């Protein structure tokens, strides 16, 4: 165990213990404030190591190389930070995919809006699900959607007054009305507002920022949400399509994973294969609950063992996916100007 | 998805350009002139103050502190006990006279339970007065109470509309709350605190038995306080020390400024010496939290997980210096402790006295652990203190990992001021 002191007057450092190849990181303190100390607990195989101190302001300091001797040990761990530029490329790939899917979403909400406006309740119910799934599939980008997400896909859960709140809008408000006995003319304003919000999102998306590190987080955050809200049935407003939403969320995770594939191939090739396998199996597990006519089995009609199996598989996948953000830590830039 | 502003990694300066590391290394800068690394011997956790293997050292402070016979309900100030139950009741009595009888009975049971001793003997023909959970004689001074009155009592039922405390309101849903009405509000709150779980339940059963037909339990949340791990402020179920920056309860002036309702303020004279209680039942998504990297957790909270130190400090009681970190490079501007208490002159009057307990109540419908924080805090003004603090916390990155599901606001009347005929709420009736 090392105790690392930052005795500088005002410089914040990231401190790493790196191997002789200068890329394998064995120990890391991601932020060490001036005047503070922290510990770094590592098990090192025999070899040559040095400390690097990356000032947040950009300067990089490297210690002299030290030799560690002794017998081979088990339990050693290291990782290779990814290239920040590659991570940016992955984000661009992802954004391009999202942009394409947004077009499809726009057409879907156009159709949904016109079905509601023309009084076709049964047809509107049919169109609601594919449109909603088109949005749920984009879950990876939810942070990049800013306030649009609340407008398009906000739930009643946190609203004062719940489903009666005037701020209850978007897909879930429409679902509540379509399956809860409201007429198409009552629902018309909601359908129009939803379609408008989707088109505002389409036009604004190119200008909404998306930090490269978000992609790693979204690979598991999407499904955290699924486990907490879809698999408890909390968000359903009458269409009984939680399992369909969950499936779309897995597809969204696949989309994020595909975008970071080139980066992960570099830093964790074994991990990537395991994750892809896990995500594919999960998608299949949900998809098994789709009927041939395109409807989905309601969450409530699952047997206990079916429910437990889906919950457990999803939670186990999440344990694996939660490694991704750490694997996607970009290399610190050596110089930068503030 | 319905995510509010999500947690984001602290973005360090510069996003591109990684090729210069080697060049710098090759230029001869090879020592660590500022950040010095030095190996130390020993293992983690052996160099803190010695504590007897985590055994509970949290005991109720002096009996006097748990008493409500003086100026205040002093259990408000005492350290959280190992066990607690927060129980909300609704009054079902119908007349003002019945309400008076209820308040007398409630106060009388709290006095008897606090005093302890042999239970009243109603003779062999009647069921025992005491439930016997604590044996034939009730231990003296082993339980503490905090009694509060909710805004809902002040309706037309008892003619109390005009007596409603000026600043007492019904807790509303904050953004990101997910309130279950079955866990919210109540005409009364009764918090029972003790060193043992059976003592808490003994008191609860005694109180419900002796108030039956006049008030009905509405919701209950049990809590526990963790022992120091390994030392210092106890940890919550996120693994972080919780309650480090509380105002000092031994400073009477601080309590006068922050906790006790003053005379001559917006409230009626009978309320002076009381305090406003906030209860928030905050579910934590424990599995999700455990999947987040420690570094992310620390940026979300604003403290080191292991030591409780603020991110710019060396130990749990270091005072964070946010003025020297205006961009949030050390402590993110969205860190929980920074938003909750920005430590400015303007924010000082909004400080609150926190008295949180952990809770674990089994599983939710799909097998996720149902754990969290039974948050309570005390202040002399809800709007200027808790509600202001909570307003600063809206959409903080922590919200992804928590979900407030219940609670309420209550007014805790002053103590009984040495008057043996006094009862809680007498000033109202």
Return d(Cα B57, Cα B9) in angstroms, integer.
37
Partner residue opposite A88 with nearest CB, options B15, B293, B368: B15
A-to-B residue pairs, Cβ atoms closer than 8 angstroms: 228
Classify residue B35 by burial, with Cβ atoms within 10 Å: 0-12, 13-18, 19+: buried
> What residues contact residue A26 under an 8 Å CB cut-off, 6+ apart?
A17, A18, A19, A42, A44, A49, A76, A77, A78
Give the per-residue pLDDT at B26: 31
* Average pLDDT score, chain B: 87
Best probe of the B interface among A36, A87, A156, A311, by most B CBs < 10 A, is: A36
Is the peptide bond prior to B230 cis by the omega test (within 30 degrees of 0)? yes
- Say whether A150 and B4 touch across the interface (CB within 8 A): yes
Handedness of CA A189, A195, A198, A200 (dihedral sign): negative
How is residue B384 annotated by DSSP? I
Note whether B182 contacts A: Cβ–Cβ < 8 A: no
Q: Cα distance from B55 to chain A (closest Cα, Å)? A: 26
Classify residue B143 by burial, with Cβ atoms within 10 Å: 0-12, 13-18, 19+: buried
Per-residue pLDDT at B3 exceeds 60: no
Asked if A50 and A326 count as a contact pair (C-beta separation under 8 A), the reply is no
Q: Give me the residues paired with residue A54 across strands.
A: A14, A60
What are A264's two structure tokens? 């992960």
Give the per-residue pLDDT at A152: 95
State the alpha helices, DSSP H only, in chain A.
84-117, 121-136, 148-153, 170-179, 184-204, 213-225, 242-267, 269-287, 304-321, 324-327
- Say whether A33 and B330 touch across the interface (CB within 8 A): yes
Among A14-28, A253-267, B1-15, B236-250, which stretch is predicted with the lowest mean pLDDT? B1-15
Return d(Cα B105, Cα B196) in angstroms, integer.
24
Q: Cα distance from B427 to chain A (closest Cα, Å)? A: 33
Give the per-residue pLDDT at B36: 33
Q: Cα distance from A58 to chain B (closest Cα, Å)? A: 7
Give the per-residue pLDDT at B235: 98
Note whether B317 contacts A: Cβ–Cβ < 8 A: no
Among A258-272, B23-37, B107-121, which stretch is predicted with the lowest mean pLDDT? B23-37
Mean of pLDDT values over B38-62: 36
Partner residue opposite A56 with nearest CB, options B172, B178, B329: B329
Residue carrying structure tokens 């956790």: B45
- Name chain A contacts of B288, Cβ cutoff 8 Å: 224, 228, 318
- Name chain A contacts of B22, Cβ cutoff 8 Å: 22
Mean of pLDDT values over A273-279: 94
Q: Give me the residues paired with residue B411 across strands.
A: B149, B276
- Say whether A315 and B287 touch across the interface (CB within 8 A): yes
> What residues contact residue B251 under an 8 Å CB cut-off, 6+ apart?
none
Residue carrying structure tokens 């990684």: B18
- Say whether B34 and A61 touch across the interface (CB within 8 A): yes
Per-residue pLDDT at B163 exceeds 70: yes
Residue carrying structure tokens 């610190």: A332
- Name chain A contacts of B3, Cβ cutoff 8 Å: 142-143, 149, 221, 225
Asked if B51 and B230 count as a contact pair (C-beta separation under 8 A), the reply is yes
Other CB atoms within 10 Å distance of the CB of residue B386: 23
Q: Cα distance from B88 to chain A (closest Cα, Å)? A: 21
Question: What would the pLDDT profile of B97-121 be if each residue is shown by its tens digit?
Answer: 999 999 999 999 999 999 999 998 8
Return d(Cα B12, Cα A336) in angstroms, integer.
10
Give the per-residue pLDDT at B65: 62
Among residues of chain B, what percentage have pLDDT more than 90? 80
Best probe of the B interface among A14, A22, A31, A213, by most B CBs < 10 A, is: A31
Q: What is the ipTM of this complex?
A: 0.91
- Say whether A318 and B1 touch across the interface (CB within 8 A): no
Query: Could you tell me which chain A residue has the CA closest to the CA of B299?
Result: A31
Stretch 38-97 of chain A: residues touching chain B, C-beta under 8 Å:
38-41, 50-53, 56-65, 83-85, 88
What are B112's two structure tokens? 């008897």
Per-residue pLDDT at B12 exceeds 70: no
Return d(Cα B15, Cα A86) in angstroms, integer.
11
Q: Cα distance from A45 to chain B (closest Cα, Å)? A: 16
Stretch 157-216 of chain A: residues touching chain B, C-beta under 8 Å:
157-160, 211-214
- Say whether A158 and B176 touch across the interface (CB within 8 A): yes
Mean of pLDDT values over B68-90: 96
Mean of pLDDT values over A111-121: 98
Other CB atoms within 10 Å distance of the CB of residue B387: 18
Give the per-residue pLDDT at A23: 81
| Nearest C-alpha neighbor of A158 from the set B404, B6, B386 | B404
| Nearest C-alpha neighbor of B336 from the set B271, B383, B402, B276 | B402
Return d(Cα B303, Cα B292) in angstroms, integer.
15
Give the per-residue pLDDT at B66: 77
Return d(Cα B153, Cα B160) in angstroms, integer.
7
Mean of pLDDT values over B27-56: 33
Give the per-residue pLDDT at A49: 94
Other CB atoms within 10 Å distance of the CB of residue A83: 18
Q: Which domains, ranges and CATH numbers included, belong to chain A?
A: 2-78 (2.60.40), 84-327 (1.20.1420.20)
What are B179's two structure tokens? 């309130």
Question: What would the pLDDT profile of B234-292 be if each residue is shown by its tens digit?
Answer: 999 999 999 999 999 999 999 999 999 999 999 999 999 999 999 999 999 999 999 99
Return d(Cα B401, Cα A237) in angstroms, integer.
23
Asked if A223 and A253 count as a contact pair (C-beta separation under 8 A), the reply is yes
Give the per-residue pLDDT at A141: 63
Return d(Cα B303, Cα B241) in angstroms, integer.
9
Give the per-residue pLDDT at A169: 95
Q: Give me the residues paired with residue B221 across strands.
A: B86
Mutual angle of helices A242-267 and A84-117, in 10-degree steps: 160
Phi-psi region of A13 (alpha: psi -120 to 50; beta: other; left: phi over 0): beta
Give the per-residue pLDDT at A159: 87
Question: What would the pLDDT profile of B349-379 be if each residue is shown by its tens digit?
Answer: 999 999 999 999 999 999 999 999 999 999 9
| Nearest C-alpha neighbor of B308 from the set B357, B240, B358 | B240
A309 alpha-carbon distance from chain centroid: 23
Among residues of chain A, what percentage have pLDDT more than 90? 69
- Say whether A61 and B31 touch across the interface (CB within 8 A): yes
- Name chain A contacts of B34, Cβ cutoff 8 Å: 6-8, 11, 13, 53, 61
A214 alpha-carbon distance from chain centroid: 7
Note whether B181 contacts A: Cβ–Cβ < 8 A: no
* Average pLDDT score, chain A: 91
Per-residue pLDDT at B50 exceeds 60: no
Note whether B25 contacts A: Cβ–Cβ < 8 A: yes
- Say whether A56 and B22 touch across the interface (CB within 8 A): no
Mean of pLDDT values over A193-213: 93
Query: Could you tell me which chain A residue has the CA closest to the CA of B399?
Result: A158
Mean of pLDDT values over A231-247: 96
The dihedrals phi and psi of B209, each to the nearest 5 degrees, come to -65, -40
- Name chain B contacts of A231, Cβ cutoff 8 Å: 366
Per-residue pLDDT at A337 exceeds 90: no
Give the per-residue pLDDT at B64: 56
- Say whether B31 and A64 touch across the interface (CB within 8 A): yes
| Nearest C-alpha neighbor of A127 from the set A141, A144, A140, A110 | A110
Query: Could you tell me which chain A residue has the CA closest to the CA of B31?
Result: A63
Mean of pLDDT values over A222-239: 95
Per-residue pLDDT at A287 exceeds 90: yes
Stretch 276-335 of chain A: residues touching chain B, C-beta under 8 Å:
307-308, 311-312, 315, 318-319, 322, 325-326, 330-335
Q: Compute the 3-state secondary structure of chain A and give helix, strand, coil in percent, each to the nearest 5.
A: 55, 15, 30
What is the three-class DSSP state of A207?
Answer: helix
Query: Could you tell me which chain B residue has the CA closest to the CA of A83?
Result: B18
| Nearest C-alpha neighbor of B335 from the set B345, B349, B325 | B325
How is residue B424 annotated by DSSP? T
- Say whether B365 and A233 touch across the interface (CB within 8 A): yes
Q: Cα distance from A302 to chain B (closest Cα, Å)? A: 12
Give the per-residue pLDDT at B266: 94
Give the per-residue pLDDT at A140: 61
What are B389's two structure tokens? 């603090």
CA B230 → CA A38, B53, B55, B315, distances in Å? 17, 8, 10, 13
Give the per-residue pLDDT at A213: 82
HSE-up (13 A, CA, CB side) for residue A171: 28
Asked if B320 and B312 count as a contact pair (C-beta separation under 8 A), the reply is yes
- Name chain B contacts of A140, Cβ cutoff 8 Å: none
Residue carrying structure tokens 């830093």: A267
Asked if B321 and B344 count as a contact pair (C-beta separation under 8 A), the reply is no
Handedness of CA A298, A304, A306, A307 (dihedral sign): positive
Asked if A5 and A37 count as a contact pair (C-beta separation under 8 A), the reply is yes
- Say whether B17 and A336 touch across the interface (CB within 8 A): yes
What is the three-class DSSP state of B36?
Answer: strand
Give the per-residue pLDDT at B31: 31
Give the per-residue pLDDT at B330: 96
Return d(Cα B33, Cα B107) in angstroms, integer.
67
Mean of pLDDT values over A324-332: 75
Asked if A313 and A285 count as a contact pair (C-beta separation under 8 A), the reply is yes
Classify residue A27 by burial, with Cβ atoms within 10 Å: 0-12, 13-18, 19+: buried
Per-residue pLDDT at B52 exceeds 70: no
> What residues contact residue A162 under an 8 Å CB cut-off, 6+ apart?
A156, A168
- Name chain B contacts of A224, Cβ cutoff 8 Å: 285, 288, 291, 400
Band of pLDDT at residue A142, cut at 50, 70 and 90: low
Return d(Cα B190, Cα B182) in angstroms, integer.
17
Note whether B35 contacts A: Cβ–Cβ < 8 A: yes
Note whether A128 contacts B: Cβ–Cβ < 8 A: no
Q: Compute the 3-state secondary structure of chain B and give helix, strand, coil in percent, each to the nearest 5.
A: 25, 20, 55
HSE-up (13 A, CA, CB side) for residue B172: 12
Asked if A31 and A63 count as a contact pair (C-beta separation under 8 A), the reply is no
Asked if A90 and A259 count as a contact pair (C-beta separation under 8 A), the reply is yes
Return d(Cα A165, Cα B360) in angstroms, integer.
31
| Nearest C-alpha neighbor of B340 from the set B295, B397, B283, B285 | B397
């Amino acid at each position: 165990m090392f105790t690392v002191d930052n005795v500088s007057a005002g410089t914040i450092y990231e401190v790493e213990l790196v191997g002789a190849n200068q890329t394998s990181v064995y120990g890391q303190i991601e932020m060490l404030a001036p005047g503070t100390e922290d510990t770094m607990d590592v098990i090192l195989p025999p070899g040559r190591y040095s400390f690097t101190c990356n000032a947040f302001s950009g300067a990089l300091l490297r210690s002299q190389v030290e030799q560690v001797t002794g017998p081979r040990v088990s339990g050693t761990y290291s990782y290779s930070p990814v290239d920040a530029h590659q991570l940016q490329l992955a984000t661009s790939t992802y954004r391009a995919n999202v942009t394409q899917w947004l077009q499809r979403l726009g057409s879907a909400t156009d159709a949904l809006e016109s079905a509601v406006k023309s009084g076709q309740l049964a047809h509107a119910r049919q169109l609601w699900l594919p449109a909603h799934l088109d949005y749920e599939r984009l879950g990876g980008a939810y942070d990049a959607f800013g306030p649009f997400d609340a407008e398009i896909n906000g739930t009643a859960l946190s609203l004062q007054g719940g489903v009666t709140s005037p701020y209850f809008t978007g897909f879930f408000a429409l679902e509540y009305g379509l399956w809860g006995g409201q007429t198409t003319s009552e629902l018309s304003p909601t359908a129009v507002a939803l379609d408008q919000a989707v088109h505002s999102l389409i036009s604004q998306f190119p200008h909404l920022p998306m930090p490269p590190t978000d992609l790693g987080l979204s690979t598991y955050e999407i499904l955290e949400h699924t486990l907490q809200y879809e698999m408890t049935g909390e968000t359903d407003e009458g269409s009984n399509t939680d399992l369909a939403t969950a499936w779309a969320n897995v597809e969204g995770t696949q989309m994020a994973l595909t975008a970071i594939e080139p980066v992960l191939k570099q830093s964790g090739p074994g991990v990537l294969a395991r994750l892809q396998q896990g995500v594919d199996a999960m998608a299949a597990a949900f998809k098994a609950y789709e009927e041939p006519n395109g409807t989905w089995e309601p969450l409530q009609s699952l047997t206990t063992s079916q429910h437990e199996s889906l919950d457990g598989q999803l939670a186990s996948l999440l344990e694996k996916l939660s490694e991704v953000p750490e694997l996607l830590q970009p290399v610190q830039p050596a110089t930068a100007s503030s | 998805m319905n995510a509010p502003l999500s947690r984001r990694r602290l973005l360090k300066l510069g996003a591109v350009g990684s090729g210069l590391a080697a060049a710098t290394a090759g230029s001869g800068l090879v020592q660590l002139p500022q950040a010095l690394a030095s190996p130390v011997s020993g293992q983690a956790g052996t160099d803190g103050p010695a504590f007897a293997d985590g055994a509970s050292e949290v005991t109720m402070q002096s009996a006097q502190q748990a008493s409500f016979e003086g100026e205040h309900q002093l259990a408000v100030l005492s350290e959280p006990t190992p066990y607690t139950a927060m129980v909300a009741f609704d009054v079902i009595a119908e007349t003002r006279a019945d309400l008076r009888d209820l308040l007398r009975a409630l106060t009388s049971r709290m006095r008897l339970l606090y005093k302890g001793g042999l239970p009243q003997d109603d003779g062999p023909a009647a069921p025992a007065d005491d439930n016997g959970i604590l044996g034939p004689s009730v231990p003296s001074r082993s339980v503490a109470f905090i009694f509060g009155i909710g805004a809902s009592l002040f309706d037309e039922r008892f003619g109390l509309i005009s007596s409603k405390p000026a600043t007492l309101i019904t807790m509303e849903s904050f953004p990101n709350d997910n309130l279950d009405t079955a866990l919210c509000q109540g005409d009364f709150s009764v918090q029972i605190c003790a060193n043992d779980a059976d003592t808490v339940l003994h008191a609860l059963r005694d109180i419900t038995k002796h108030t039956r037909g006049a008030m009905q339990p509405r919701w209950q949340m049990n809590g526990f306080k963790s022992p120091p791990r390994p030392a210092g402020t106890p940890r919550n179920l996120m693994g972080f020390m919780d309650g480090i920056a509380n105002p000092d309860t031994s400073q009477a002036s601080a309590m006068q400024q922050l906790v006790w309702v003053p005379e001559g303020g917006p409230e009626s004279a009978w309320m002076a010496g009381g305090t406003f209680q906030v209860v928030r039942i905050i579910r934590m998504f424990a599995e999700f939290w455990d999947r987040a990297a420690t570094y992310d957790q620390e940026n979300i909270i604003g403290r080191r997980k292991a030591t409780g130190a603020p991110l710019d400090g060396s130990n749990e009681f270091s005072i964070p210096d946010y003025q020297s970190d205006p961009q949030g490079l050390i402590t993110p501007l969205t860190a929980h402790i920074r938003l909750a208490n920005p430590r400015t002159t303007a924010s000082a009057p909004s400080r609150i006295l926190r008295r949180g307990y952990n809770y674990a109540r089994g599983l939710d419908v799909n097998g996720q652990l149902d754990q969290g924080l039974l948050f309570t805090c005390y202040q002399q003004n809800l709007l200027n203190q808790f509600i202001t603090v909570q307003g600063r916390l809206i959409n903080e990155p922590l919200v992804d990992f928590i979900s407030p599901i219940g609670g309420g606001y209550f007014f805790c009347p002053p103590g009984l001021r040495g008057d043996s005929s006094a009862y809680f709420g007498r000033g109202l009736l």
